[in-house]
Structure 1
Amino acid sequence: MSNGNNGAKMAEELHPHPVMEQLNNVQYCINSPPPWGEALFLGFQHYILNLGNIVLIPSIIVPQMGGGKDEKAKVVQTLLFTSGVNTLLQSFFGTRLPLVVGGSYAYLIPITTIIQANRFSVLQNPKLRFMHTMRNIQGALIVSSCFQILLGFLGLWRNVVRLLSPLSVAPLITLTGLGLYYLGFPLIAECAEVGVPQLIFMVVITQASNVIQFLMN
């Protein structure tokens, strides 16, 4: 009997969270969007933060790949286009979370490893090196995305998330950001008239969003 009870308890624990129209202590859910004024402000906040990621990631990796300004512009354009398409897909057909799907810093470390491979360092032509490196990065991203898709469809990630808590996730994200500090911050000095105002504006937006939301309510 004890084994049967343990099996029943295990089945109950693995059962997914039931779908609810409105969660407790959550101001806006999927079926309760904010007013237009607040929605525009929150959307602009997402846009500013995401724009920094989209510009910063190519600024870090493209010069290491042998690319110049033209290649950097193409990568930024590609990220902007794919970010918009992915955001629309997840808004209408996916999780419908109120966020912008953009580039991730989690891939910078493996991408940097690919860029620094010996088979690319022997290429003397910068454009040829950029092309071959980009092809290898694209292939690696396709394979890794297939692995993530399998984790999502099989429900394995749901069991892993239960073992994580904010105490473990927050230090990981913080250390990842601090590890990229030496790469991103020197780029501000190269174009201070754009980088410094954007940095100040981003800090103000992130810190004052709660105050503005309180005033609008």
Structure 2
Amino acid sequence: MTSQGADDAATAEADGGSSFVEYGIEDEPPLSTSVLLGVQHYLTMVGANIAVPLILAGAMGMPAEVTAKFVGTFFVVSGIATLAQTTFGNRYPIVQGAPFSMLAPALAIVATAPALPGSAPWESKLLFLQGAIIAAAVTEVFIGYLGIVGRLRRLLSPVVVAPTIALIGLSLFNVPQITSATQNWWLLGLTVGLVVLFSQYLGDGHRVFQLFPVLLAIVIAWVVAAVLSVTGVYVDGTPGYVDLAAVTDVSLVFAIYPLQWGMPQFEAAFAIGMFAGVLASIIESFGDYHAVARLTGTGAPSESRINHGIGMEGLMNVFAGIMGAGGSTSYSENIGAIGLTGVASRRVVQAGAAVMLVVGFFGPFGQLVATIPNPIVGGLFVAMFGQIVAVGLSNLKYVDLDSSRNVFVIGIALFTGLSIPRYMTNVGGVEAFAEGLASVPVLGGALTALTDVPVLGLVLGIDTVANTLFVIGGTGMAVGGLIALVLDNTIPGTDEERGVEAWEDITEDESDFSPVWSSADD
């Protein structure tokens, strides 16, 4: 372990955080090691960063030859956004990538966007999506740099933060990569088993196993799946099948540049709907920041660090809209990788971002990454998101769990954070949700009796209102976090009981974080 890594470990132990950190945030491993570790960080989020563009491409009816470039654009945006966040934003080692929290409003937009003269239907849909992301992201920039989220930090005790972080991991317990009815459990189990073997049993035996458990697990499981595919054991359509022929069936180099699809189109209703996704993304990122701080033992993030992080995410969302991608936010998968490997170096994440930025222009690379079968991705999710759940719950060490009010708030937040998003999934989409809201009578029927119409129902049935409620209600950490926030700050309880006093003791001072330009001046 480096001297800085040892200092981080000592700090972690003093703060009650993890003491396993191999490379701390400020550590700078050798370049070759940094590149490999950085690629490992990125491979943990490959499932999401490919799934989002593929889902959007399918919804827009995008031609296959364009879809490959669309995926490459997401990798390029991810690389630049990660470099910007780790250098000029919150400076945490968090990968930035395409957010699932913005996917629901994006699908609603592409489903209703009108056709533009002289443009293919998919182009029109994409241009309206770009405009919505840019407009909503501008608001996020102001929310961040005006310090709105940072000020709310004072209302957030461990009673609120613990279920919010835990729900980041729990929210993916039922993704198709894990729970598909046709799941290849053997391959998924092999992936999980390899991660556990390398990270938990063999980690102390050799540095390779300690630093690269995820990368080794992916490579070995992929090679096994590829061999079974080549030999005909797995056929096309079988979970676990690796389509090696697809790697060469794509352009060698893509020309990826701003406004490559045309000039974004702006529609107020679309922007408001997308802002709901941005709000959910902000809540998720807030939880991610605390999770990284908890894992590395660096103290809960200061107000200034949070503000710079959210502000930079807004700027990178604007950039993503200009480039024609689906947005950008912090990636929880990357945080799970920190928990498994103990590698939290900013330089490592930046090295991985640089690699992704370059290879995003090369079609065969994106296609090769896309051949990683869903069962392998699901295995990674099991290992990494379980880690995030545990990190979230570990914050309860600061809370008085003999207090009935604390147990009540935590239980309600976790339960509703799982059940309400499931309802949103079962309701049949945002249109069905809006129709249902439109039929809701006013409580007590008072206004309905006066106007002879369900006034509240009509208001709730407005597209922008329904979209906002649907997106936030479908995001587990947003539901649980908001409910915990309200209950924890309204139900009587002492600061000691809620863990606020202990929380303040481990929160970094405002002077502990300074933007990179301020550091350069010093």
Normalising by the smaller structure, the TM-score range is 0.5 to 0.7
Pairs within 5 Å for 1:75-90: 75-90=70-85
Q: Aligned in 2, Cα 1:75/1:103: closer, same or farther, shift over 3 Å?
A: same
SS in 2 for 1:97: coil
Aligned residue in 1 for 2:42: 47
In 2, are the aligned partners of 1:45 and 1:205 still within 8 Å (CA)? no
- In structure 2, the gaps of 5 or more residues are 1-7, 184-236, 243-372, 388-522
CA distance in 1, matches of 2:102, 2:34: 30
Question: RMSD of aligned C-alpha atoms?
Answer: 3.8
Amino acid at match of 2:170: T
Aligned residue in 2 for 1:67: 62
1:105 aligns with 2:100: yes
CA distance in 2, matches of 1:169, 1:96: 20
In 2, are the aligned partners of 1:57 and 1:105 still within 8 Å (CA)? yes
Q: Aligned in 2, Cα 1:196/1:118: closer, same or farther, shift over 3 Å?
A: closer
**Which has the larger helix fraction?**
1
Once structures 1 and 2 are overlaid, which stretch shifts more, 159-168 or 67-76? Answer: 159-168
1:202 aligns with 2:198: no
Amino acid at match of 1:104: P
In 2, are the aligned partners of 1:91 and 1:98 still within 8 Å (CA)? yes
Amino acid at match of 2:162: P
The structure whose RCO (Cα within 8 Å, separation 6+) is larger is 2
Deviation at 1:99, TM superposition (A): 2.3
CA distance in 1, matches of 2:69, 2:181: 22
CA distance in 1, matches of 2:375, 2:88: 36
Percent identical among aligned pairs is 25
Highest Rg: 1 or 2? 2
Deviation at 1:30, TM superposition (A): 3.4
Aligned residue in 2 for 1:193: 241
1:170 aligns with 2:166: yes
CA distance in 1, matches of 2:31, 2:379: 22
Q: How many residues align?
A: 183
Amino acid at match of 2:139: F
Residue in structure 2 matching 1:138, options 130, 150, 156: 130
- In structure 1, the gaps of 5 or more residues are 1-20, 210-217
Q: Aligned in 2, Cα 1:205/1:45: closer, same or farther, shift over 3 Å?
A: farther
Deviation at 1:145, TM superposition (A): 1.2
In 2, are the aligned partners of 1:46 and 1:99 still within 8 Å (CA)? no
CA distance in 2, matches of 1:62, 1:80: 15
Aligned residue in 1 for 2:144: 152
Amino acid at match of 1:90: Q
**Deviations 1:156-208 (CA, angstroms, capped at 9, x unpaired):** 11233443412134336634x367649x959985773241463266358749x
TM-score calculated relative to the size of structure 2: 0.30
In 2, are the aligned partners of 1:48 and 1:202 still within 8 Å (CA)? no
CA distance in 1, matches of 2:152, 2:37: 30
Deviation at 1:147, TM superposition (A): 1.2
CA distance in 2, matches of 1:58, 1:130: 13
Q: Aligned in 2, Cα 1:70/1:45: closer, same or farther, shift over 3 Å?
A: same
In 1, are the aligned partners of 2:49 and 2:98 still within 8 Å (CA)? yes
CA distance in 1, matches of 2:110, 2:165: 28
TM-score calculated relative to the size of structure 1: 0.66
CA distance in 2, matches of 1:190, 1:115: 30
